[in-house]
A and B are shown apart, each in its own frame.
Chain A
Amino acid sequence: MNDQGISRLEVHLGRLLLGGVLTAATCLAIGLAIWLLGASRGAANVLLTAGLMVLMATPILRVVVSLVEYVRMRDWFFVTTTFVVLIVLFVTMGVAVMNARG
């Protein structure tokens, strides 16, 4: 087991999650402010939607980065584990797209 690799991965993922949540929060805060002021419905909707999308994308990106790191560490058990989680998330996306069309 590569404990140093795991520690480094934990730090990387922490930065990724922080970046994602700060970006999402900034979009949502500005979007909500514009929405409350009633200044521009279009701009408010774009920012609110972008914020929610970034929020949802962040944990998915976390799984993708983990997968890349486990490949680099040649930790095949966790490459498999992480890949299975990604497959489940892709199925979710598929169902969501079907719901949006239906």
Chain B
Amino acid sequence: MTLSTVLSVMAAGAVGGCLGSLLGLGGGVFLVPFLNVVLGLDFKVAAAVSLMTVIATSSAVSAGTAGRQLINLRLGMLLEIASTIGGLTLGVLVEHMSEPLLYKMFAIVTAAISVLMLTRLERRNVLSADVDPGPLGGRFHDDESGREVVYRVRRLPAALFASLVAGGISGALGIGGGILKVPILNAWCGVPMRAAAATSALMIGVTAVSSVPIQYARGYIMPPVAAAAVLGVLLGSRAGFWFGGRARAKWLKLLMAMVLGSVSVLYFVKGLR
């Protein structure tokens, strides 16, 4: 491995980290294809390295958001039961799964979410400030509208199921899994986009830790590549966090849908080869 390889991994990590922190995706959506297709690393190695960056993104983004009441700690911990079980299960099973199968699964999931996002662009999920948010809901000050935002969590089983599947995707494909949770928390469970993204960003770290030590023990982590990817993602997610406070929720959703659509096409093509 050369200096140029390490620098290109770092640059790819920076781009992934920036978009990841904007979208609550964790950045792996870009990093896994890059490591796998461009650098020619084995898919499972790419996924394991990507999971390391997911942990870094999670810690860095959550450290930045903490104190603004955007992270729903209670809801997050409850959903982490499901997401870690999913991560552990698929983290064990992934060794027996073929690469085209993984590509196709991923393509279908991203296509579905992309459509879901596009049909829900105008949803706000905001109650007036005097409503009791209930045990799992929350309240925070929204910089965009300058108002106190209160929300209740609806359809908890859907959120738990989404977290289980997202955890599995994290364990198998090396992406954060926020890719699935954020749209479902937002569109179906009544959690505002920013709170859903912040809670998901916290969750993806623990979720990744439910499978990544297994991949580490299997020797899938190449330390210099992982280090370059992690450092790149950290720099990128800093930039993304800075943009995040300024971007509008609607454009965030539109951007997210477009990103997911492109990733889906890429994986359909790869899966059919």
Contact = CB atoms under 8 A, between A and B. Distances in A.
B66 A17 contact: yes
Nearest to B203: A59
Contacts of B223: 31, 45, 48-49, 52
Nearest to B71: A10
A56 B84 contact: no
B67 A11 contact: yes
Given A11-B66, A89-B209, A92-B91, A55 B55 contact: yes
Nearest to A60: B209
A56 B81 contact: no
B272 interface: no
Interface string B54-85: 01101110111111010101100110110011
B175 interface: no
A17 B216 contact: no
B84 A88 contact: yes
Nearest to A55: B55
B214 interface: yes
Contacts of B71: 10
A97 to B, nearest CB: 7
Interface string B223-242: 11011101100100000000
B238 to A, nearest CB: 11
7 contacts: A17-B60, A25-B231, A32-B6, A32-B227, A45-B223, A59-B205, A100-B217
Interface of A: 1, 6-7, 9-11, 13-15, 17-18, 20-21, 24-25, 28-29, 31-32, 35-36, 44-45, 48-49, 51-52, 55-56, 58-60, 62-63, 66, 78, 81-82, 84-85, 88-89, 91-93, 95-100
